[in-house]
Amino acid sequence: MEVLKIATAGSVDDGKSTLIGRILYDTRSLTDDKLEAIERTSKQKGFDYLDFSLATDGLVAEREQGITIDVAHIYFSTAKKSYIIADTPGHVEYTRNMVTGASTSQAAIILVDARNGVIEQTYRHFFINNLLKVKDIIVAVNKMDLVDFAQDKFEVIKAEITALAKRAGSTQNITFIPVSALQGDNVVDRSKNTPWYTGTTLLEHFEALEAQDIYEESVARLPVQTVIRPKKDEFHDFRGYAGKLYGGSLVVGDEVTVLPSKTASKVKDIYFFDKTYSVAERGTSINVTLENDINISRGDIIVKSSELPRETKALNAKICWMDATNLVVGKKYFLQQGANVIAAKVSAIDSVIATDFSGESPATELKINEIGNVSFKLAKTLFYDTYAENKTTGSFILIDPQTNNTSGAGFIQ
């Protein structure tokens, strides 16, 4: 069964958790004990409705404050498809959590409160999904019940987001759906309150999407996770290179180059567990053997010889800063791309980027949750693609060597 990964984005009180809880309730995905707990707690709080946000807010602080703080992954299935929803925080101080949740998603729901319209956080959420090149964006105009399901409120928000997408040069598929997460209008079932709306419900839209792999179809990249050397007489000379194949396909007989050594060989065998295949498609975890006995270790990348990536020791990238300690020129980090780790030094902070698409401004540091253009000098050669070409070899994380914290996420343009 296909699996579709979805991330949510929305400001505090826009109703992200309620929307997800409503989906779970209407698709009968809530367990009896969870539903009883929601009914009991809603009654204790004096609500005259079920508080579906209780289905997703797992932390005590989240339930007490009524906001989402950490990323929560929710799983449910229909007869057609399985879903993983990343419920991400909406407040500006948790932007880094939103980046984390959206980075592995194929689709994103951006919630907009029908009463408030497009606000600063909406720009930020759209910017991040644009930066991460999430393929399918659903703008769910929520709380339509609180504006009497007025079409003009919906159309104003639709026009503003459409203009924003045009200004950003977005090529994403953007769909607008008027919903009431609390009442269930146009979430799973069609609403009688919006006769002017002829589109799909939220779930109908999800069901119609093709759950393609999150990684774009592009050049093939096989980062080696581990080298397999069975200690058995039956496989005495076996030497396989295991990892997940990103971007494209590999075929037995393909001429390949191993990076960083740049040694050449051909694909001899492709294994998936204990079976052999002549072709490996993108997104599959495989184990390959090569015709030559080459020294390959964890962190190396196997690519087709006709599709070599770029190489550099001086890198420019867009950085989403996630650390409480500011990013400053001269600071050293470990740059990790897959399993490959390279020492890096910040050589320049070129600019900080306004997430409302109003432009860039000069900067001397990046603060937590800011996004900027940063230059690095690397201790050894990095082989890379742009993020648009391949999300795996076009992105990286920065690790503070003193704290071991993941301090930032980088996207190579």
Interatomic CA distance for residues 322 and 93, integer angstroms: 10
Say what the pLDDT of residue 212 is: 62
| CB proximity list for 360: less than 8 A, separation 6 or greater | 351, 352, 353, 354, 373
Q: Tell me, what's the pLDDT at 342?
A: 95
Phi/psi at 248 (nearest 5 deg)? Answer: -135, -160
3-state secondary structure of 176: strand
How many other CB atoms are found less than 10 A from the CB of residue 317? 23
- Residues 109 and 94: their CA atoms lie apart, in Å, by 17
pLDDT category at 256 given cuts 50, 70, 90 is very high
Q: Are 70 and 88 in contact (CB under 8 A)?
A: no
Residue 289 has pLDDT above 70, yes or no: yes
The confidence score (pLDDT) of residue 170 equals 87
Per-residue pLDDT tens over the stretch 150-186 = 999 999 999 999 999 998 888 889 999 999 998 999 9
Strands (E), 1-132: 3-9, 72-77, 82-87, 107-113
Nearest-angstrom CA–CA distance, 298 and 384: 17
Chain segment 307-353, per-residue pLDDT in tens = 999 999 999 999 999 899 999 999 999 999 988 899 999 999 999 99
**Under 8 Å between Cβ of 244 and 223:** yes
pLDDT in tens, 190-238: 999 999 999 999 999 999 987 665 556 788 999 999 999 887 777 777 8
pLDDT reading at 301 higher than 90 = yes
Angle at 21 between CA 16 and CA 25, to 5 degrees: 150
Average pLDDT of the chain to the nearest whole number: 87
- pLDDT for 213 equals 54
Residue 17: per-residue pLDDT: 82
Give Cα separations from 209 to 83, 275, 281 (angstroms): 12, 31, 20
Q: How far is CA 401 from the centre of its chain?
A: 25
Cis, peptide link before residue 260, omega less than 30° from 0: yes
DSSP character for 320? E
Would the pLDDT of 89 be above 70? no
Cα–Cα distance, 212 to 402 (Å, whole number): 39
Q: Does the pLDDT of residue 45 top 80, yes or no?
A: no
Q: What pLDDT, on a 0 to 100 scale, did the predictor assign at position 91?
A: 62
Look at the pTM and tell me if it is higher than 0.75. Answer: yes
Q: How far is CA 135 from CA 103, 200, 335, in A?
A: 11, 18, 26
The span from the CA of 350 to the CA of 46, in Å, is 53
DSSP, residue by residue, 188-243: TB--TT-TT--S--HHHHHHHS----SS-S-S-EEE--EEE---SGGGTT--EEEE
Q: Of the candidates 157, 84, 89, which has an alpha carbon nearest to the alpha carbon of residue 128?
A: 89
Q: Let me know how many helices (H) and strands (E) the chain has, helices first.
A: 7, 25
**151-168 vs 120-131: helix crossing angle, rounded to 10:** 50
Residues 6 or more apart whose CB falls under 8 angstroms from that of 392 comprise: 215, 221, 223, 246, 247, 338
Q: What is the pLDDT of residue 59?
A: 47
Whether the per-residue pLDDT at 53 is higher than 80: the answer is no
Taking the CA atoms of residue 187, residue 100, residue 105 and residue 349 in that order, the dihedral angle to the nearest 10 degrees is 120
Q: Would you say residue 306 has pLDDT above 60?
A: yes
> In what helix (H) or strand (E) does residue 178 lie, and over which residues does it extend?
strand 173-178
Query: What is the average per-residue pLDDT within 28-35?
Result: 81
pLDDT in the model for residue 243: 93
Q: Kindly report the number of other CB atoms within 10 A of residue 354's CB atom.
A: 15
Could you tell me the domains of the chain? Answer: 3-213 (3.40.50.300), 221-304 (2.40.30.10), 310-412 (2.40.30.10)
From residue 90, alpha-carbon distances to 38, 101, 219, 231 in Å are 23, 11, 34, 50
Q: What is the pLDDT of residue 251?
A: 95
